[in-house]
Structure 1
Amino acid sequence: MLLTLTAEAGGNWSDASDLGYLLHKHPDKVQEFDLSVGTATVMYPEVAEARCTVALMLDVDPIELVRSRMRRGRDGFALGQYVNDRPYAASSMLAVALGRVFTTALAGTCRSHPELVDRPARLTIRVPVLPSRGGPDLPARLFGPLGWTVTAVPVPLDVELPEWGASEYVDLTMLATLTVSEALRHLYVLLPVLDDVKHYWVGVEETEKLVRTAGEWLPEHPEAELISARYLAHQRELVQTVADLLSDGTDAGRDDPVRPRDPRLADLRADAVLAVLAEAGAARVVDVGCGDGRLLRELLARPQFTRIVGVDVSEGELQRARRRLRADELSDAGRERLSLLQSSVLYRDSRLTGFDAAVLMEVIEHVDLARLPALERSVFGEIRPRTVVVTTPNSEYNGLYPTLAVGEFRHSDHRFEFDRSQFREWAETAASTYGYTVELAGVGPLDESVGAPTQLAAFTREGANE
């Protein structure tokens, strides 16, 4: 399978080769990534200031296809598992490869050049062999409303026998002026929709993934019903769940009592944290204050995280996490990867040492300010991982929530909420005290006056990579 993405200089993009920063893939390198279905290769066949092209090739392992029932051909004949289009035509496998290889770009995160994230670029997508199960006009019906100019040329069944007519595949070319993150999210959702087959089990987690990735544009899309049905493998209960989530604007599993302007804020936070972990190359991760396991579920879905520990002071929250993760149904290998521990981040716990990264996602604001130094000593001084990721609300943004009174916190259990200067001062002081460097970023819709609703700090221990 092959997909190319080309960026051209113009408008806010003076140098098209900046695409490499957003994708976090160096243009001078050919990189390979092992996936459960085969090997993904990323290379740049064209790099110049005026035009830059990245190619993603997925080499599917045919033996693995046969071993897994979910990855077999869609045809019902006896040799369908051996004779199929899975290794050649773009499908949900290519969508999964996009998600694994370009995690940072999909999340809309670029720590080295954050100013590029929200800049639309002139983009061209090319997929030479794409299933279009619904006719050659289906790609235009799906991508057109999202701002793409679509050209889908039917691929003949046999070029030597034109009388046989066209196949159900098209050679797709699309042009648009969008951010790279928007373009990748469109592909991530709609490639499996065009194929109308998913190579992996579709459960309730897919509803949350669909809302997280397409929640901004799906409700108004003229083909919303078709997209939801195909993305969720025509499971009516799951499709109805997505319809309910999109109709009332709620964010499943979110504890905040205030509805933000962007209902996907909790998901955007998780995406941003995952992007930092991926960039840091973390394999062993401890989620401190894991709650009901939202982030743990995302970590489990990514094989690069080989050891995952969720920690919470509340046994009730840990029980919720066990149910969400279906911990009792995990395989032996899954149980080896995942542990859930009851513990407090304010005290020393030797079980939490030896990890590559620690995550405190919406945790510090639940600790009394007087006890924050104890948390710092525990995380940065005792656990002391190579990478620490902290997210917390930006109190300056609270004024944009119409249901919040002046001075009110976003959650009744918050002990404080930092503004941007306070968070910067805290993060830089903690980093200096314990031998870390720190980079700050915003998560969520950016307001010119007050910033983003969530603040993120990525700490890296000095000398950790030496």
Structure 2
Amino acid sequence: MQMVIRALGEGAGMISHLLAKNPSNEYDREEKGARVRLVYTKCTEEETEVVLYATPDPIELVKGSPDNYDITQYINDREFAVSSLFCSYIRSALGTALNGKPKEAYLPWVGHPFQLELSFGPVASNLPDGIVEQLFTALGYELRVERGELPYSFELKSRSTARYLTFSGQQTLQNALRQLFVLIPVLDDYKHYFIGEDELDKIRRYGEGWLEDHPLRDLILKRTLRFGDLIGRYNEEVAGTVGSVGTEKEAGVSADVEPEADLAPEDEESTAAPAAADDGEQDAPQPKIRLNELRYQAIIETVEALADKTSIVDFGSGEGKLAAKLGWIDGVERVLAVEPSAVAQLRAIDRFAKMEGRQGAAVPTPVSGSLFYFDESLRGHNVMILCEVIEHIDEHRLARVMDTIVHEYRPEVLIVTTPNKEYNRVYEMEDEAMRHNDHRFEWTREEFRDWCDSWASDRYTVDWKGIGEEAEGFGQPTQMAVCTLRKEANRW
């Protein structure tokens, strides 16, 4: 995690006094489980450049966490990405400038606008470049977005979500840092702390004088404060208005972008359902159904129509929502919910426990597993489901996964769903943007069909379907392949 502060022009040397850090002295501290260092690479009256570097201890990141038994805690970017963690690490190093309290002799420089350039990264943001740019240009800055080169012989991703940002313009050092301390958590949408009164106070303090009039204020508040009561209090106390915060879609962000918390399509996406009949005086409002529910509904209807559905494997079952629904289908006797994350599996176990003893329920069995490891117990089941799973796997690894499924597990029916990349245009997403920050790829309808044909042609017949509201020329938001083992195929 790093940030560079650069000041140009007359008076640039005063930056060291505002930071209260002597360019000749070493700054090297341990802060909350991270080593924080500050060094001046240049310090003259015409140009000053300061580099801040934070190196977290990966063990400290998870020590004391209730999830410390889960190996997936180590499969993340928290050690490297500039996020709310970075802000907490460097607050003490920048506290004097952030609060505008240098020695008395330098107080007049607190309000002095410097020609500043601040660079930081990498930021692993689910926000598209256009929204990131608006966050900074609305404050009068110019923004430059850069992506690092990926040193792989294969195309891991055409455009990485990890970006380095540089914003520049005339601004006081204090205001630039205050704005940055608010916007970094907005970009990453990651919170390592409890969101409550302290966070509201931070928004009041650091957002004073600029946040009230920011055109993306609603987006900033929602991704920072999260909860409606805190947002309402800010609007009432600071902005003098009471009202709900607009959605990301109103701010120009697709509702189909899928961060962990508040933009996931299973939470925000919706499709109009047929309107119920009314008394004829007035059309009843059409209820909205989340896209994730439509996926489940499509999968369940497909399974219900099968002649043989005794045993089902749900790969990447997460918290067990789909697996639990499958357990209520007539004729289903066994559901294996396969999931690598212990945290998600614990939540699934709680969900499955509520089904115990209820008539007509086939209580799913949680299984720790991955598509990358062969498990003898997963062979020969009637149905295997990969619901929104394949796009989380590197494309070059899919051939191995499908070889295991087709030639080792050999289900009678394989159901696969994945996003339809063409539909991203309907959500007004940027060309290379993806719906989730963990998606390795997203395919057009033609690409999905070509991929299915590449492994299914000699063993499975494939029926393609769309899920969700259709848009002319773009199809439907989710595409589904129902692959049925050919009668002439030798299953074993």
Q: TM-score, normalised by structure 2?
A: 0.46
Kindly name which structure, 1 or 2, has the bigger radius of gyration based on alpha carbons: 2
Q: TM-score, normalised by structure 1?
A: 0.49
